[in-house]
Structure 1
């Protein structure tokens, strides 16, 4: 599968997904500071499933009805990398 991992989700998640043989674009590693608008557009245009814990993407997907190829929202009490994996 193809995953675009948002910057706030961090590199540990991207690394773990790669270890599981998934194709990954990590905003943290490859495009720090990328705007949310550009992230959601890139994910859609290039067929990535977005993984994020940024509530702003919920706004874009559910309220603004932005097109997407799939979004995984991580809502965790413990935001440490180990909890995300």
Structure 2
């Protein structure tokens, strides 16, 4: 699959306002609430993101770093994971916009970014 822009999936720990701010700039961003994935396990969240060809955005670095490592070890593909330090929704959205404007969908495959 080849397309230009990254589509984001924000897990339930990320403020829904972040998705609203990104959509207002024309980017594709959904939340766990939008996807009816509230209370899904971390592994289920990542499986959902992969199934939807979306980059996952989370604050949960510890658990998702282990999941990403297991994907790497088993040579499974994902569409990227972005770990966001807890900041205001506006600041997180600004940091994500920097990635969305500089990194293509294909470049984000199996990548991990920290913002």
Q: Does 2:42 correspond to 1:36? A: yes
Query: Partner residue of 1:80?
Result: 88
Give the distance between the partners of 1:71 and 1:82, measured in 2 at CA: 19
8 Å Cα contact 1:3/1:23 also seen in 2: yes
Task: Name which of 52, 61, 68 aligns with 2:68.
Answer: 61
Q: Identify, as 1 or 2, the structure richer in helix.
A: 1
5+ residue gaps in structure 1?
A: none
Counterparts in 2 of 1:82 and 1:25: CA distance versus 1, 3 Å: closer
After TM superposition, the score normalised by the length of structure 2 is 0.62
After TM superposition, the score normalised by the length of structure 1 is 0.80
5+ residue gaps in structure 2?
A: 1-5, 94-115
Query: Partner residue of 1:2?
Result: 7
Deviation (angstroms), 1:29: 4.2
Deviation (angstroms), 1:54: 0.7
Highest CA radius of gyration, 1 or 2? 2
Runs ≥4 residues deviating over 3 A:
none
